[in-house]
Amino acid sequence: MGDRPVPTRAVPEVVARVGIDLDPVDVTDADDARWLRACVRVPEGALPVVTTTWALSPFPLEDRLRFLHRLREAAAGRAVAWVSVEGVGVAPTIPTLGDRRASGHSIIGLAVFDRSAPRAQAIGRCWSRGRLLAWLVDSWSEQRS
């Protein structure tokens, strides 16, 4: 969709996959730190990536902000990335690009936490649970420069 090609930057090698379990994890529950422990199990030198896909919308804003706080905690000793695909305005810190809530699409976001304020950006839009994608940039490296 649109006139931008799929980003051409090489996909990094996956050095480990750390599963939590089949039960949903309440990322806002301070007593349920399974996903934080999973980040710690990622080998040194590798970037832990937390992914949410349409998982945050049932939570009120306060709990979604608590989720961000937990990501910052996980990044206390190393960088942690968060890739999100959530409805417009659902993922805190991910820009909405002026899009309205309930607009029929979701924002694909990327945030990196590394002992400072998160660097967050919208990198695409998707419709029909990912059946249709529109990339907003040609590559991640172009936005970082």
Summarised one tens digit per residue, pLDDT across range 35-85 is 667 777 788 888 888 888 888 888 899 988 988 888 888 888 889 999 999
96 with 79: CB under 8 angstroms?
Answer: no
Give 14-36 pLDDT, tens digit per residue.
Answer: 877 776 654 555 555 655 566 66
The structure tokens listed for 39 are 């980040």
Q: Give the pLDDT confidence score for residue 19 in this predicted structure.
A: 66
Considering the entire predicted model, what is its pTM? Answer: 0.79
pLDDT value of residue 25:
54
- Which strands, in side-by-side order, build the sheet including 49-53? 49-53, 80-87, 106-113, 119-127, 132-135
What is residue 75's DSSP assignment?
T
Antiparallel, parallel or unpaired: β 80-87 and 106-113:
antiparallel
pLDDT digits (tens, 9 = 90+) for 86-111: 999 999 999 999 999 888 899 999 99
Among 5-14, 91-100, 126-135, which is the least confidently predicted range?
5-14
Question: What value does the CA radius of gyration of the chain take, rounded to a whole number of Å?
Answer: 15
Query: Burial level of 111, CB count in 10 A (0-12/13-18/19+)?
Result: buried
